[in-house]
Amino acid sequence: MKIARVFARKTKMSPKDSDAYFGLPSLYTPKYDEIHISVSFTWDLPKVDILKEEWSRYGRVKVGGPALEDPGDEFVAGRYLKEEVTITSRGCPYNSERCSFCFVPKREGKIRELPIVPGNIVQDNNLLACSKAHRDKVFAMLRTQKKIDFSGGLEAGRITDSIVEELRSLKINQLWLSYDLPERKPDLIRAVEKLKRYFPRYKIRCYVLIGYLGDTLYKAEERLQEAWDIGTLPFAMRYRTAAEQWEGTYLFTERQWNLLTRKWTRPAAIKAGMKG
């Protein structure tokens, strides 16, 4: 079966083959047996009806993706993400009450371990919450890879000495932790104390959630600065909702928040600012 995959926008994780499309079809687009429209972000949902209408001329259309509460029952390498990406588990061990800003518990449910597909970019929601048997298999696979990037994130509270030893056995490009809420700071400190014995700052990255309801520019930059002081290279992760949910939150177009986000997403600018 010949399948086209259509995406509302292109990202650095998008597949690169000739059957992956972004936006509307062109005059020379071939016919397909099926056309899968994948929507990752809720703010792209208004584009779905137009994409369905235009692409229906080229094959039978199916619509899905994270923005449409797709639980992600299977992972096929290269289908909706580029070939280097692997997802070895779905779901989260926590509920939405612990992390009210996160869609994963509602969308994907509890942790589910998947067949392990080779790849050097690990996009699991919480790999360290999986069973030791599963983690051992994942680490064994990763020992065959280079430039490993845990871009899905590693939960700081689950970083132990034994996990650090496993990570040391890999050819790491970047480890990603997170600093979503102020109360998670002690976990981040403990994890970084273990990691920085073996990994330099530029390999210990940290997503810092900013711009959620009740946040301020001052408090957001303070958390980013704290993440730097702890020993990570921070990355400002801007909280964003669909347009119809903007009431009571910060618009994604607000200039001061955009400037702060830009300042703290460029490693060279962060390093220069810290030296200053």
pLDDT score of 250:
57
| Per-residue pLDDT at 6 exceeds 90 | yes
What is the percent of the chain with per-residue pLDDT over 90, rounded to a whole number? 71
| Per-residue pLDDT at 105 exceeds 80 | no
Q: What is the pLDDT of residues 172-208, one digit of tens each?
A: 999 999 998 888 899 999 999 999 999 999 999 999 9
State the DSSP string of 170-218.
S-EEEEEEEE-SGGGHHHHHHHHHHHTTTS-GGGEEEEEEES-TT--HH
Q: What is the pLDDT of residues 58-79, one digit of tens each?
A: 999 999 988 888 877 789 999 9
Distances (CA, A) of 171 to 22, 148, 191: 33, 6, 19
H or E, element range at 227: helix 217-230
Question: Structure tokens of 235?
Answer: 């990355």
Determine the Cα–Cα distance for residues 257 and 238; give it in Å rounded to an integer.
9
Q: Is 80 exposed, middle or buried (0-12, 13-18, 19+ CB in 10 A)?
A: buried
pTM for this one? Answer: 0.89
Non-local CB neighbours of 233 within 8 Å, separated by 6+ positions: 201, 202, 204, 205, 206, 267, 270, 271
- What are the extents of the domains in the chain? 3-66, 75-275
Determine the Cα–Cα distance for residues 151 and 144; give it in Å rounded to an integer.
18
What number of other Cβ atoms are within 10 A of residue 123's Cβ? Answer: 19
